[in-house]
């Protein structure tokens, strides 16, 4: 997993780059539910970044329910949560869509381009 992580000088904060790469690995099935992640120290050393930066990325993913940390054992990809009720499911989808649109605009990208990229990615075999 460590060999897949990299930091680019793009102006995007390092913890966000790390968080997004971990989310992408989970979404692509590289990291499956229950998989153990490298320790924060291992990531910091491999990427030559501050340990606090890695802690922030892991903490955000844990807060969002993507990761679970067990003291003395490590950090793991969370098992998928139980399905949401339909109303909450729609609200979560709308919130994620709004967040994605805002992120696209902040990066200077057309949100419609992002939507097309998402649909094209869905059509690709996994």
Q: For the whole model, what pTM was predicted?
A: 0.68
In the predicted model, is pLDDT for residue 91 greater than 90? no
- Which residues have a Cβ under 8 Å from the Cβ of 85 and sit 6 or more positions away? none
pLDDT in tens, 48-80: 999 999 999 999 999 988 999 999 999 999 997
- Which residues have a Cβ under 8 Å from the Cβ of 40 and sit 6 or more positions away? 51, 54, 55, 58, 75
């Amino acid at each position: 997993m460590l060999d897949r992580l990299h930091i680019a000088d793009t102006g995007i904060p390092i913890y966000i780059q790390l968080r997004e790469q971990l989310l992408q690995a989970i979404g692509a099935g590289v990291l499956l539910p229950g998989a153990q992640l490298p320790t924060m120290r291992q990531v910091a050393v491999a990427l030559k970044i501050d340990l606090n930066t890695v802690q922030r990325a892991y903490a955000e993913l844990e807060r969002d329910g993507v990761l679970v940390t067990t003291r003395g054992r490590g950090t793991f990809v969370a098992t998928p949560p139980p399905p949401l009720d339909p109303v909450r499911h729609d609200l979560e989808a709308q919130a994620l869509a709004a967040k994605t649109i805002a992120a696209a605009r902040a990066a200077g990208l057309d949100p419609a381009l992002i939507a097309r990229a998402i649909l094209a990615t869905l059509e690709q075999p996994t």
